Amino acid sequence: MLDTDTITTPDGRTIGGTVMDLRNITLRFGGVEAIKDISFDIREGEIRAIIGPNGAGKSSMLNVISGFYVPQEGEVWYRGKLRPKMKPYEVAQQGIARTFQNIALFEGMSVLDNVMTGRLGHMKTNMLSQAIWWGRAAKEETENRAAVERVIDFLEIQAIRKTPVGRLPYGLKKRVELARALAAEPSLLLLDEPMAGMNVEEKEDMSRFILDVNDEFGTTIALIEHDMGVVMDLSDRVVVMDYGRKIGDGTPDEVRNNQAVIDAYLGVAHD
Ligand SMILES: Nc1ncnc2c1ncn2[C@@H]1O[C@H](COP(=O)(O)OP(=O)(O)O)[C@@H](O)[C@H]1O
Ligand SMILES: [Mg+2]
């Protein structure tokens, strides 16, 4: 059974019951153990950070959460159910959306069309039923357009909606990627280094949008981030990974004062 109690964070924020419970996860690539017997949970409405040095296994962990990788050992419990082997699109239909460490957009397509691809999981009408049930297809199209326009307004990218993504500066590309993920209206949003490579101003913008998404839509967010200042500002709880192991788990303050974490991560240069 998953824990359904709410908890209150030191900042006075209320966080709901367990949405995802990762139990004793081990993931191997050939002889490499990218994740070694890691357990932690993600609770409804929280911002959960995963931090650690390069190669620690953070992206692999996000890929386990998204269903892209199926671990060799351990259990993934999602919304009260033990997750069987699922294809990524099936996971997307369960309300999980993500952005990637390396931007994965269609460079030649407009911002609008890229964001529209985030709606693919919501397009149930196939060609045949479109021919027969024209009204239903038209209604779905209207709903999809409306959802996309809401996201474009929310992330303040109206001015670039017709611009090919390839022509945008890096910071805006990252924002378009967030827009595409949000267009799916996920209940769990996974962000792999959403602020990597950004300047200070771009980081501030992205931080604000992440907080606004969490606040306005109640979206649960798991994010990987290197900038400790950002992690401390944004997250409710932090998991710390090092060489595939979990070496810390707690509030930002708890993690910051954990000696193992200081030794492994905070004291050394990264990236
Ligand atoms: N698809 C893959 N095939 C083989 N090894 C991989 C693959 N993905 C990650 N790894 C290895 O797993 C370890 C963890 O990588 P990764 O999860 O990308 O770490 P992080 O995101 O913390 O930098 C590294 O040793 C990396 O080389
Ligand atoms: Mg990574």
**55 C-alpha vs ligand 2 centroid, how far in Å?**
7
Tell me the DSSP string of 83-114.
--S--HHHHHTTTEEEE-SS----TTSBHHHH
Taking the CA of residue 61 as reference, the ligand 1 atom at the shortest distance is: 17
Mean pLDDT computed over every residue of the chain: 88
Angstrom distance (rounded) from CA 242 to CA 261: 9
Ligand nearest, relative to CA of residue 265? 1
Contact 26, 35 (CB under 8 A): yes
Query: Which residue lies with its CA nearest to atom 11 of ligand 1?
Result: 34
**Is residue 264 predicted with pLDDT exceeding 80?**
no
Judged against a pLDDT cut of 80, whether residue 131 lies above it is answered with no
How far, in Å, is the centroid of ligand 2 from the Cα of 101? Answer: 6
Of the two residues 24 and 196, the one the predictor is more confident about is 24
Reading the block at residue 232, the tokens are 């401390």
| Share above pLDDT 90 across residues of the chain, in percent, rounded to a whole number | 61
Residues 55-59: contacts with CB under 8 Å, at least 24 apart: 55/243, 56/241, 56/242, 56/243, 56/244, 57/27, 57/241, 57/243, 57/244, 58/192, 58/224, 58/241, 59/101, 59/192, 59/224
How many A from CA of 215 to the centre of ligand 2?
A: 26
Distances 90 to 42, 76, 127 between C-alpha atoms, Å: 20, 15, 20
Distance 250 CA to ligand 1 centre (A): 24
Cα 57 to averaged position of ligand 2 atoms, centre (Å):
7
Neighbour tally for 155: CB within 10 Å: 20
Phi, psi of 159 (to 5 degrees): -65, -20
Q: How many CB atoms lie within 10 A of CB 170?
A: 13
**In ligand 1, which atom is closest to the CA atom of 62?**
17
- The CB of 48 under 6 Å from ligand 1? The reply is no
pLDDT at 137: 74
Does ligand 1 lie within 6 Å of residue 114's CB atom?
no
User: Residue 41 pLDDT > 50, yes or no?
Assistant: yes
Ligand 1, atom 18: closest residue by C-alpha: 59
| Overall fold of domain 1-94+220-271 | Rossmann fold (3.40.50)
Are the C-beta atoms of residues 94 and 186 closer than 8 Å to each other? Answer: no
Residue spans of the domains in the chain: they are 1-94+220-271, 96-185
Tell me if 1-94+220-271 shares its fold with 96-185: yes
Fold of 96-185: Rossmann fold (3.40.50)
pLDDT, position 271? 47
Nearest to 67 by CA among 176, 186, 193: 186
pLDDT in tens, 99-111: 888 878 899 999 9
- Across-strand partners of 175? none
Structure tokens at 269: 């240069």
Q: What is the pLDDT of residue 133?
A: 61
Q: Is 168 in the pocket of ligand 1 (CB under 6 A)?
A: no
Give pLDDT tens digits for 143-202.
Answer: 888 999 999 999 999 999 999 999 999 999 999 999 999 999 999 999 999 998 899 999
The ligand with the least distance to the CA atom of 54 is: 1
